[in-house]
Amino acid sequence: MSAIYILWLRELKRYTRSRAQIIASLGQPMLYLLVLGFGLNPVFKKAGYGSYFQFIAPGVIGMSVLFSSIFSGLGLLWDRQFGFLKETLVAPVPRIEIMIGRTLGGCTVAVIQGLLVLTICLISGFRPAGWLAIPVAVGFMVLIALLFAALGVIFGSSLQDMQGFQLIMNFLVLPIYFLSGAMFPLTNQGKVLGFITALDPLSYGIDGMRSVLLSAATFRPAFGISIDLAVLIGVGCILLVLGAWRFSKIEV
């Protein structure tokens, strides 16, 4: 247990120590939120969907949780590079504990990042349907973070070097984000796009967050909260098991 705790603490310390990186990682969500959020607001309103700023805020929160959790898993590549991975792999600790500690750490960092973006949303005018909705939305953040931290571990354990990083960014992380409906409503989409977006686990996370944060009058859920929860938990468990298995196969 103490091994899990110390590796969790390590992820947190590394995060809080890189202040420049924290600020940099808030830049992109703020662009989406403020520029797109306010820029597309009039068009969205005219189309009868209500406020685009309110609509995109949960999507941007989901995006920052997604990025930060996947990158925490890919942090394995850095640790392989700078050697710290070896230090943990020759320790007399089961690998599963090492994997759990790292993943929980990455998940915690991602949720903190999500909370920071949520705060920015609130400051710039986002109003949830009720304040009690916020703890439930945080619950969804945790599920999203766990799922994608596990996905990051799967790829981080399988890749040997940094060259694969760009590949993952362009063919995995960005498509997951753009296809999740973070920026557009998933209802009334064409068959092809509708099908693809339904395959994206992040769609369910963002749909869930919107269902709790936005009032029923302005947002119609694409899947419904119970389906959202079931998919997130189900896929999350599968990915965690796969991640643990890939992690146990790492050779240094």
- Residue numbers of the site for another protein (CB under 8 A)? 2-3, 5-7, 10, 13-14, 17-18, 79-94, 160-162, 251-252
For another protein, give the closer residue by CB, 160 or 226.
Answer: 160
Task: Compute the least distance from the CB of residue 85 to another protein, in Å.
Answer: 8
Toward another protein, which CB reaches closer, 45 or 86?
86
> Least separation, in Å, of the C-beta of 142 and another protein?
25
The nearest distance, CB 121 to another protein, in angstroms, is 29
Give the separation between CA 226 and CA 137, rounded to whole angstroms: 14
Least spacing, CB of residue 61 vs another protein, in Å: 26
Q: Which is nearer to another protein, 13 or 45 (CB)?
A: 13
For residue 172 the two structure tokens come to 């995995």
Of the two residues 43 and 162, which places its CB atom closer to another protein in the complex? Answer: 162
CB 66, CB 50: distance < 8 Å: no
Q: Which is nearer to another protein, 20 or 192 (CB)?
A: 20
Q: Pick the closer one to another protein by CB: 102 or 210.
A: 102
Backbone angles phi, psi at 78, to 5 degrees: -65, -45
Euclidean distance between CA atoms 89 and 250, whole angstroms: 9
Q: Which distant-in-sequence residues (6+ apart) come within 8 Å of 114 by Cβ?
A: 61, 62, 64, 65, 68, 138, 141, 145
Distance in Å, CB of 21 to another protein, minimum? 11
Q: Are 53 and 126 in contact (CB under 8 A)?
A: yes
- Minimum distance from residue 240 beta carbon to another protein (Å): 22
What whole-number distance in Å separates Cα of residue 211 and Cα of residue 50?
15
CA angle, 132 then 140 then 126, to 5°: 55
- 219: its two tokens: 């947002």
CA distance 20 to 118: 19
